[in-house]
Amino acid sequence: MNTQSQTMPGRWFVGAILLVFVIWLATVLAVSREPAAYGVSVAAGESKFRDHCGACHIVEKGITTHHGPNLYDFGKIAGTRKPGLTAAQYVLESVLDPEAFVAAQNRHGMPRNLASNFTEADLRNIVAYVVSRGANANFEEISKLPIPDTVGVSESRVVRREDMELAERVLRERGGCLQCHALYRNAEYTIFAPALFGVGLSDEALLRESIVDPNKVISPAHRWVNVMLTSGKVESGKIVGQSPERILLVKRGDANDLVQVVIARDEIDEVDGQLEITTAVQSPMPTGLDKLLSEHELDVLIRMIRQLN
């Protein structure tokens, strides 16, 4: 009896430890499993988001925005963006009609036909994923959101993240496009050449033509001039400022960069009392970019520009 009495407390102790462990394990498994929430799946939404939206949107803390805003913890502020809309309603509207509301700190350019790539279930799952970043998603509300039949209503223009990154390397490095072109339509950055995103550049044929043959159609707003000097030299560039005494010209430098040149009016040749300044017939955009790039690089560059317009 004494021996049995002495072993009983030990058995109870071991049993209590095992019970605590079982409860802990069950809790971990319950938390790690996605709840059956009105048929809405955050995990499925995350997968769709990363495949279709991750080329522009980042969902990681501390990383600056890319083409679209960083959506880390976006669930905390989504419900405050547009008066009268809950977080789920705002996120859904942003996918269905990106131009319906653009926050002051964000840019235009999100594809308007993005929803055509998703089923109704996809859209609900994506909304749940975005809203759950930093907040608790209301799955019942999301399951009841009115969603129009958007599947296949327009051409799909989604670019994969790896293609988007390749296209951006072409812009910044191989093509050197950002020496003249701004990415977005900030007025102070569109002096030299048109902005690329959020400005309506969506016609694939015209985009390809402007790259392959930039001299075929030249925008009057970005046409350059030739200035004949009394010294016999010709300065070619774009007039960005002038006064009664001088003109300010932007031209391409020896390193293919853009430099400013101040030219006094008395240094410019005259014909019949008029300064000899003629419109250039060549585009300032260099030719041969299509020869420099592979066909795949050219294709993803065009798709990237179309997606962000």
Query: Residue 256's domain is classified under what CATH number?
Result: 2.30.30
Q: Is 20 a member of any domain?
A: no
Q: Is 301 a member of any domain?
A: yes
Query: pLDDT tens digits, residue range 288-297?
Result: 888 889 999 9
83 and 132 assigned to the same domain: yes
Query: Who wins on pLDDT, 28 or 106?
Result: 106
Q: Is 26 a member of any domain?
A: no
* 182 torsion bin: left (phi>0), alpha (psi -120 to 50), beta (else): beta
Domain boundary among 84, 116, 143: 143
Report residue 92's pLDDT band, with 50, 70 and 90 as the boundaries: very high
183 and 292 assigned to the same domain: yes
297 and 199 assigned to the same domain: yes
Comparing CA positions, the residue from 276, 251, 247 lying closest to residue 264 is 247
124 and 46 assigned to the same domain: yes
**Percent of the residues in the chain that have a pLDDT greater than 70, as a whole number:** 79
70 and 194 assigned to the same domain: no
206 and 301 assigned to the same domain: yes
3-state secondary structure 90-119: HHHHHHHCHHHCCCCCCCCCCCCCHHHHCC
State the average pLDDT over residues 86-104: 88
* 9 torsion bin: left (phi>0), alpha (psi -120 to 50), beta (else): alpha
51 and 128 assigned to the same domain: yes
Q: Is 6 a member of any domain?
A: no
* 41 torsion bin: left (phi>0), alpha (psi -120 to 50), beta (else): beta
Chain-wide mean pLDDT for the chain? 80
Query: Who wins on pLDDT, 114 or 22?
Result: 114
Q: Is 101 a member of any domain?
A: yes
47 and 139 assigned to the same domain: yes
213 and 229 assigned to the same domain: no
187 and 300 assigned to the same domain: yes
60 and 125 assigned to the same domain: yes
Q: Is 259 a member of any domain?
A: yes
Comparing CA positions, the residue from 107, 73, 78, 112 lying closest to residue 95 is 112
Residue 43 has pLDDT above 70, yes or no: yes
Please report, for the domain that includes residue 192, its CATH number: 1.10.760.10
Q: Is 240 a member of any domain?
A: yes
**Domain containing 241: what range?**
224-279
Residue-level pLDDT at 103 = 79
89 and 125 assigned to the same domain: yes
Residue-level pLDDT at 33 = 44
Sign of CA dihedral 206, 208, 214, 215: negative
Q: Is 152 a member of any domain?
A: no
Residue-level pLDDT at 194 = 80
Domain count, the chain: 3
Query: pLDDT tens digits, residue range 239-286?
Result: 888 899 999 988 877 766 678 899 999 999 988 888 999 988 888 788
The answer to whether the predicted template modeling score (pTM) of the entire model surpasses 0.75 is: no
